[in-house]
Chain A
Amino acid sequence: MLEEARSRWHPIAAAHDLPFRHVFHGQLLGREFAVWRADDGYVNIWENRCLHRGVRLSIGINDGRELKCQYHGWRYSNRTAGCTYIPAHPADAPARTITNRTFPAVERYGLVWSSEEPLGEVPDVAGLAEGKLLALRGIAVNAPADQVVERLKAYRFQPNGAIDGDAAETLIEAAQDFAVALRSRDGAAETLGVFFVQPADSNRSVIRGVLDRDAEGSAHIAVLRHHNERLSRLRDEAERDMANAPAPAPIEPVYERVSAELAEMPELTAHGRKAALRVTVARKWQTADGIAGFELRPIKGILPTFQPGAHIDVHMPNGEIRQYSITNGPGETDSFVIGVKLERDSKGGSKCMHETVREGDVLAISEPRNNFPLRRDAIKTIFVAGGIGITPLLAMAQALNNQELTHELHYFAQGEEHLAFADRLRALGDALKPHLGFSPDETGAELRRVLTGYRNGMHLYICGPGPMLEAARKIAAEQGWPDSAVHFEYFKNTNKIDDSSSFEVALARSCVTLQVPAGKTILQVMRESGIDVPSSCEQGACGTCMATVIEGEPDHQDVYLNDAERKAGTKIMTCVSRAKSARLVLDI
């Protein structure tokens, strides 16, 4: 019977077992669950083990958006169960595929239902209309489910309307493998009680009773007490009987193995410029002067896990591909929110998003990619945003705000009406420092003020238009900020790309040597040879196509690497950069 039970839906908790920011420890057929409700109402049912070292997540911390493991602070996102942060390596974005096992969750009849491999839907129970039902306290019994069901068939109780009486007649209305429906009548009073039996383990069951109506005030308490007393008695009798019989062996849950690639924690897997996801535009709105907000919801299933700083490629109806940063705060995983500024000299990207794309349209997007990871081990983090450069920094600031880590978000814009995502900004409180209507010179002076007082352990993140970003980097360097503490992301590469050189590229791991002629990029030549390399912006701004240089001298033409990284010569953006030497050896 228990084998068949795996494909059925079972209640594993009462809705009232999931109060604000609690993590409930559930169990079904020997498998433990960590069950928690996020602040957006979503109920998460996860394998009760952190993927890192097997610590129960039911002792973790529900911060309303993410669940944090107690042992090493790994954070797992609401809904996707994907790991968003590994504090031991604050400069790395976690591999996207570190995702905990999830189980389906349905709330019905005041109970939370789940199943290991469900067939069909949560059962319809005749007589239990949704509405004013009363879910009783779960009563755990150390006995097998079938024995508990047998005992429940003989359960007797008073209807709500005659709770103090003792003349009720209780009849079995229906009985199944894991449920008994009983109707109790006493005069005119009548109550239907459906008692589900959750098979927690081979020798452990939980009785989850639901009555067809609730009662008010003290009567409510009296009804709960009535069932609590009688069901506790039933439990005591069942356990007394079981004490003489040998207990069945506990069910050994099978834990899925992690993927081979995760077992070694390698580089991110290679993938081309693909748009694997389909989303609908659930909402499009004017979030600031010249800036449209888009809320993108998955057509089916759930969106992949993202980290603050991540971007997606949006494939537009006109064939253009553009990168937009995800502005969401942690745990907001039901949709991606992006902001698109209408560029005056738009080549078709932002113009298409503003003028053509409407609510209800379907767009193809890539999985989120994070080449602008946020460290969370800074003693203080300063964000400097210029205009639409707010988008990745907004996601970052919300993440630090949620963890109560010290930060300031300096937002430079032409005026109040140019500040995007006002609701999200408001939630940041005093950390938000708007700087409005400054000329370039005034901006420089303001940046000099903001960037004074560098101390070891501080980190700076900059995103904005090229000239402002250059100015901010220069000022930071003058004020003593080391390269390693300054992180930036350009919108685009405005350098004039010189692709006149020709050279040889040897790919060490693929064991091939390719000729890169003038007019073609390393990336193009690799792709033509069937070597799949991830890329996104393809203009040297986003960092997705970065490769490690083993030998040779790169000719950097990107805006992703900082000066120290350029000088080191160990990394190259294969979409724009080339070689000064006759030959490059790459670790691909």
Chain B
Amino acid sequence: MAKCSDTVILNLWHPVGAIAEAAPGAVQETVLLEERLSFQVGVDGEPVVWRSRPDARGADQVPAADRLPARGAYGYVWTSLGSPPADLFPIPEYAEPDRRRLNAATFGVNVSAPRAIENFLDMGHFPYVHTDILGAEPHTEVKEYDVEISVDRDEILATRCRFFQPMASTASDGGADVDYVYRVPHPYCSVLYKSSPVDESRRDVIAIFLQPLDQEHVRAHLLLCVLDENSEDKVIKRFQQTIFGQDKPILENQFPKRLPLDPRAETPIRADKSAIAYRRWLSQKGVTYGVIPAAA
């Protein structure tokens, strides 16, 4: 497989690792878009990223000209192999002081980044893949919801999403509809807002940031930014890891692994409105990496 030549993707910011899991001063090795990268987070929390080379054992041995763009955001180190925009997409809730913010997991998944995004946007699989957690038969209906592509923000927004969840909150023992809002502000990143079980007026934020190793392999970084003062970190993480562990085997059994953008490659239903919008958006942007572009 050729290295990435898709300039849309090359010019994006991409996550390469959780800051909390990088020991200060230690060099981490990773892969982004088929290139080997090294990064190091300084004691000041500032990351340095460079293309791996045998002569550099630490950031201080890498001349400034050879460093890649780098920044820390939402608990992760981000970099780019091209010319990234000045700003990363906003998640204002991340700054709210009473939220728990943590990297719930980083999972290797044998699938393209866009397939993983579609799975993140999808509610119809809750009763089948996350049985008795996010959904349960016979409550299988995906009710009508709204999707728009926001022009000024250049992101997909799905609102009025509702899905029946058994044990929806700790306060009641029955199931209820849970509200979701989904954003796709980046071809390989998505953010969801979900009714908080502890505060009716606010929403938990869960984001997925996909690090494309190549067209058909990703590392999925899961950010949690939730209202929960009681649970231990490991309990919160374990929940998300259970959910993602259920999605992983499904994602790895999807064919083709790259996301087909030809509308006739697969059969959409109304429940897939957000996925249809996502595929169109990728087509309009001219994304070719991790997808099978529609024949012109």
**Minimal beta-carbon separation of B126 from chain A (angstroms):** 10
Which residues of A79-116 are within 8 A (CB) of B? 86-91, 98
- Which B residues are in CB contact (< 8 Å) with A189? none
A405 beta carbon closer than 8 Å to chain B: yes
A72–B266 contact, CB under 8 A? no
A405–B138 contact, CB under 8 A? yes
0/1 interface trace, chain A 283-294, chain B, CB 8 Å (1 if under): 000000000000
- Which B residues are in CB contact (< 8 Å) with A54? 254-256, 260, 266
B263–A264 contact, CB under 8 A? yes
Identify which of A32, A54, A262, A378 gathers the most chain B CB atoms within 10 Å of its CB: A54
0/1 interface trace, chain B 35-75, chain A, CB 8 Å (1 if under): 00000000000000000000000000000000000000000
A53–B140 contact, CB under 8 A? no
In the complex the two chains form, what is the Cα distance from A457 to B267 in whole Å? 29
In the complex the two chains form, what is the Cα distance from A32 to B127 in whole Å? 27
Contact pick for B253, options A59, A262, A376, CB 8 Å? A59
Given contacts A257-B265, A259-B264, contact A71 B270 (CB under 8 A): no
**What residue of chain B has the Cβ atom nearest to residue A262's Cβ?**
B267
0/1 interface trace, chain B 246-273, chain A, CB 8 Å (1 if under): 0001100111100010111111111100
A73–B262 contact, CB under 8 A? no
A86–B269 contact, CB under 8 A? yes
A258 beta carbon closer than 8 Å to chain B: yes
B129–A51 contact, CB under 8 A? no
Which residues of A22-71 are within 8 A (CB) of B? 32, 48-49, 51-56, 59, 70-71
In the complex the two chains form, what is the Cα distance from A467 to B268 in whole Å? 42
Contact pick for A263, options B128, B253, B255, B267, CB 8 Å? B267
B268–A55 contact, CB under 8 A? no
Which residues of B95-154 are within 8 A (CB) of A? 118, 124-125, 127-129, 137-142
- Which A residues are in CB contact (< 8 Å) with B140? 73, 87-88, 90, 376-377
- Which B residues are in CB contact (< 8 Å) with A518? none
A245 beta carbon closer than 8 Å to chain B: no
A49–B250 contact, CB under 8 A? no
Contact pick for A378, options B125, B138, B266, B268, CB 8 Å? B138
Interface size of B as a range: 20 to 34
A265–B127 contact, CB under 8 A? no
Contact pick for A52, options B137, B142, B266, CB 8 Å? B266
- Which A residues are in CB contact (< 8 Å) with B267? 51-52, 98, 258, 262-263, 265
Interface size of A as a range: 35 or more
Given contacts A89-B141, A376-B138, contact A72 B264 (CB under 8 A): no
Given contacts A88-B124, A265-B267, A265-B269, contact A70 B141 (CB under 8 A): no
**What residue of chain A has the Cβ atom nearest to residue B295's Cβ?**
A257
B253–A52 contact, CB under 8 A? no
**Minimal beta-carbon separation of A313 from chain B (angstroms):** 28
In the complex the two chains form, what is the Cα distance from A583 to B253 in whole Å? 55
- Which B residues are in CB contact (< 8 Å) with A52? 266-269
- Which B residues are in CB contact (< 8 Å) with A59? 249, 253
- Which A residues are in CB contact (< 8 Å) with B253? 55-56, 59
10 closest Cβ contacts across the A-B interface? Answer: A87-B140, A88-B271, A88-B124, A257-B264, A88-B142, A56-B253, A263-B264, A377-B138, A263-B263, A51-B267
A-B contact pairs, 13 of them (CB 8 A): A51-B266, A59-B249, A70-B128, A70-B250, A72-B125, A88-B269, A88-B271, A89-B270, A90-B141, A98-B267, A257-B265, A263-B267, A457-B139
Q: Which residues of A contact B (CB under 8 A)?
A: 32, 48-49, 51-56, 59, 70-73, 86-91, 98, 255, 257-260, 262-265, 376-379, 405, 457
